[in-house]
Structure 1
Amino acid sequence: MIDDVLTQAQQALQEQQPLQRRRHFARQLEQFGDATALILNDGQHISYQTLAQLADHFAQNFVRFDVWPHQICALQCRNNLTSVVAYLSCLRHQRPLLLLDPALPVAQLDELTKRLEIAALINEQGEMTRISSSAFRARADLALLLSTSGSTGSPKSVMLSQVNLQANALSISQYLPMLDTDAAITALPLHYSYGLSVLNSHLLLGAKIVLTDYSVMNKEFWQLVNQQQVTSLAGVPFSYQMLKTLRFERLPLPALRYLTQAGGKLTSELTSYLQQLSQQRPIPIYLMYGQTEATARIAYLAPEYLPNHADCIGHAIPGGELLLREPQDRSLIEKALTAGELCYRGANVMLGYATNSAELRTTQQLEELATGDLAERLPNGLYRIVGRLNRMLKLQGKRWTLDHLEATFSSQGFKVVCTGRDDLLVVGAIDPNAASKAPAHISNYLQQQLHLHPTLFKVLLLRDIPYTSSGKIHYQAIFNLASGGNSDAAG
């Protein structure tokens, strides 16, 4: 009897040790010693021990610029060594960090940093500048602030804790076939929650990350993939559209073990392509669903479901729970094939939103995340998204709030109506003048300021706003004008 108890205790201890060893990944880099953590564009290898030393050395800047624990820094984050070092230094030394797209326009950057009372700005070369004399300190458990809408400069930021980051990295490492011998590559920006989750989950395991700003359309990217024997690729729908154009299935990539996709719903064309790709290479492909509000990941579709259930988001990640609620009374929906708002519970659910410094002091603890998506549960237990409650799109893996876009153009003197779906943004410029310059201005702004690829948007010139019989803006009619079809549009 006692022997049985001892044996069970020893087994339990062995099962717990890996989890204990992996706590607070940013603070436990040293445990992997001389193993390679980062590989740079020039082929230089940075060990985990060296990475930890660089992060702690960077912390001298906090003393130099009088940035105390729980005072917030902002980082113009690129896929380079200095950004990773600054990120890890902030996590290791209790300085909450706002991750920013380095292409964010200066005016929006200034407005955002003032509203959140950011103490210091770290540029993409890793140089710190004190930008506020405020002594403001945020809540003690705040570790990271991420934008909800990519490069659009939305004032709403997601508050994440170290527990959130750790829990999501651990879940990802459990459902993906990740090994400590793996090598990932930064195919997505690190200031984007999906791209950051690739870094976090590999650092948790002691695996390698190839740091590069090259995109999948650059030959240098594929040279790195081959030279450094990259074992996995992460992409948003736009990434896979580019891979399809490149005829990815023909590329010789012997080290590649699996692919992941998130950041928005795939078109039927891309879904078919991935189904074929998984058989041609052959290679497992994980379709994933997530939100920045859940640190990164919420659900995943295991590869065996891809042939017949590619329209589903699958099951909740390890440690998480999916549920459906009636949008009106919030009652729980238990019947299969009944649509409701998709909600999620897990240790990776954000602390809350912040639009100003006062909200960074709150003590709220969010237990359940309402995703804003309508979904249903199939009889086999898989979940499928069937619609969206709110007016937002995901393009190139970034969330675009349509109301915020309309307000942005309104501030520039243009009256617009925005609609679309996850593969096409439609902007209707309202102007009875047939020679209006509004469409050209809007198109240039979307490309040059918001860095949106021209294949992902269409700008229309409308004489007036179309309305439904009930007096609401007829978003579907606007979308149909742009697409020539009847697919559902946001709004």
Structure 2
Amino acid sequence: MTDAARPYTFVHRLDRFGEHPAYYLPSGEVISYAYLEKLVEKKEKRLDEIIPVGSLSALSFSTTLDNVVTYIAALRLGRALLLLSPRLSEEGRTRLLKKLKIAIFINADGTVVETGYTQNVRRDCALMLSTSGSSGSPKSVMLTLDNLHANACAISQYLPIVNEDRAITSLPLFYSYGLSILNSHLYKGASVLLTEAPVLSKLFWNQFSKFAISSLSGVPFHYQLFRQLRLERQAYPHLRYFTQAGGKLTQVQADYVKTLSNQFKIPAFLMYGQTEATARIAYLPPHLLNTYSDCIGRVIPEGELLIRDLDTNNKITAPYVAGELCYRGPNVMLGYASCARDLSLNERVSELRTGDIAEQLPNGLFRIVGRLSRMIKIQGQRLQLDDIEVILCKFNVPLCCYGMDDLLIIGYVGGDNDLAEQITHYLRESLAIHPSFIKVVKLDSIPLLANGKVNYQSLLLAAKESLSC
């Protein structure tokens, strides 16, 4: 296919950026956009030979140049690709292969496994992202190349990404937030340092300085780590802005983001999104951070946010009236795939129901006030787990809440020996919850998924083990 005939998306005609660096490697090697184009063309030919048309392939996506080239080549070739955590267990991998009938499995080291499965994946499905981090659940989001391109474009309109920028892979690339950084920088012809160094390691921060990284991104847990590292005391004159997504910040974390922004005298962007919307849905303009850090902000370019009544489904227009947050835009997924049959269905989601409960302020900003799936009912009383986490902050220990109807589970780390009793007593007095409906579990650490979010299933297992003792 000639350059003139190629569809124009962020993964096409990479050589239009010439010798400008696309990727930096920890070894010091620089991969220019012109050379990246050659690598992708070569990989395209290889994938065309091994991946049958209409089949589904999967990539164990490590933060390496070869894996990134494979990802770009698959998108250009039009072969549906499922991105997976390299930490996925053999059991999880086998379950996925059978449930989705994955024909080709590409390991992180580039080796290829042919499974013998055949498939008839819908032609517009370009990419699949798991909804379960590294658990191996087959439920995945189906995205088109247009979804990816539209979101990269929108992100590039509100973030100050310029050609000379250098990002760093502080997040996994199989996670939609981490992938969006890769995509948006490709869109703008900017650069990314591909490193697998953990954020807490000395190596990561040495590379951060050595390669003069210009932006730093993280989920709430990362900002908790940055606070422990006393990042505000460091000197990074090359740093231009911060971004945060992947969950709501606690007040302490939000205050720390403000501290970082003020100390470095650079903007910080709080963002909101879901994998079902490719990555990004809303953002808070930096100049509103000091006043509205509890808001997700305004909708991204080309998108529309609305709130629907939980009972009638009618659109809510009055301020401060809570309902389910819904989103429309060119980055909304095709739908979910939990089995092979789902991959061939010709359906498409037009309006994404986020599952978040939100309200709109008179100034037009949106604020999340709860989560439908984070709502439980105990003794007929409806409780929002996020609210309970907030009120328990008074105990000054890391904690998280999970539950189901008639059982509230709180996991905590550290604290006094009688802290479990203190928490139980407090909940009984403040929320009138009988202790028989409360289980407080002491943990060695807050369980986390590969993307840095709380692993609530692990908390549930810990509670069940405690109950069986």
Q: Normalising to structure 2: TM-score of the pair?
A: 0.81
| Aligned equivalent of 2:295 | 312
Alpha-carbon separation, structure 1, partners of 2:300 and 2:454? 31
Asked if 2 retains the 8 angstrom alpha-carbon contact of 1:188 and 1:194, the reply is: yes
1:274 aligns with 2:257: yes
1:58-457 equivalence runs, <5 A: 58-65=43-50, 67-131=51-115, 133-391=116-374, 419=409
Alpha-carbon separation, structure 2, partners of 1:241 and 1:423? 15
Indicate the SS of the match to 1:59.
helix
| Aligned equivalent of 1:56 | 41
1:362-402 CA-to-partner distances (Å, cap 9, x unmatched) read: 111211100000000001110000011014999xxxxx997
Tell which deviates more after alignment, 175-184 or 216-225.
216-225
1:311-340 CA-to-partner distances (Å, cap 9, x unmatched) read: 000000011110000122211101111000
Asked if 2 retains the 8 angstrom alpha-carbon contact of 1:69 and 1:93, the reply is: no
1:39 aligns with 2:10: no
Indicate the SS of the match to 1:74.
strand
Runs of at least 5 residues in structure 2 that lack an aligned partner in the other structure: 1-5, 376-384, 387-399, 415-440
Change (3 A) 1:330 1:449: closer
Asked if 2 retains the 8 angstrom alpha-carbon contact of 1:22 and 1:204, the reply is: no
Indicate the SS of the match to 1:209.
strand
Alpha-carbon separation, structure 2, partners of 1:46 and 1:91? 20
Matched residue type, 1:310: S
Asked if 2 retains the 8 angstrom alpha-carbon contact of 1:149 and 1:401, the reply is: no
Matched residue type, 2:45: Q
Aligned residues between the structures: 413
Matched residue type, 2:245: A
Asked if 2 retains the 8 angstrom alpha-carbon contact of 1:233 and 1:260, the reply is: yes
Alpha-carbon separation, structure 2, partners of 1:317 and 1:447? 28
Return the offset for 1:420: 6.0
Alpha-carbon separation, structure 1, partners of 2:302 and 2:411? 31
Alpha-carbon separation, structure 2, partners of 1:450 and 1:280? 27
Change (3 A) 1:140 1:423: farther
Change (3 A) 1:165 1:218: same
1:130-162 CA-to-partner distances (Å, cap 9, x unmatched) read: 12x233121111010001121122221000000
Alpha-carbon separation, structure 1, partners of 2:232 and 2:7? 35
Indicate the SS of the match to 2:222.
helix
Matched residue type, 1:33: G
Asked if 2 retains the 8 angstrom alpha-carbon contact of 1:120 and 1:130, the reply is: yes
Return the offset for 1:463: 4.4
Alpha-carbon separation, structure 1, partners of 2:355 and 2:133? 18
Alpha-carbon separation, structure 2, partners of 1:228 and 1:141? 38
Asked if 1 retains the 8 angstrom alpha-carbon contact of 2:413 and 2:445, the reply is: no
Return the offset for 1:417: 6.8
Matched residue type, 1:329: T
1:96-120 CA-to-partner distances (Å, cap 9, x unmatched) read: 1100011111111111121111110
Alpha-carbon separation, structure 1, partners of 2:340 and 2:256? 46
Alpha-carbon separation, structure 1, partners of 2:277 and 2:322? 21
Asked if 2 retains the 8 angstrom alpha-carbon contact of 1:152 and 1:450, the reply is: no
Alpha-carbon separation, structure 1, partners of 2:102 and 2:446? 27
Asked if 1 retains the 8 angstrom alpha-carbon contact of 2:169 and 2:195, the reply is: yes
1:388-435 CA-to-partner distances (Å, cap 9, x unmatched) read: 1014999xxxxx9979xx9xxxxxxxxx978569999xxxxxxxxxxx
Change (3 A) 1:321 1:112: same
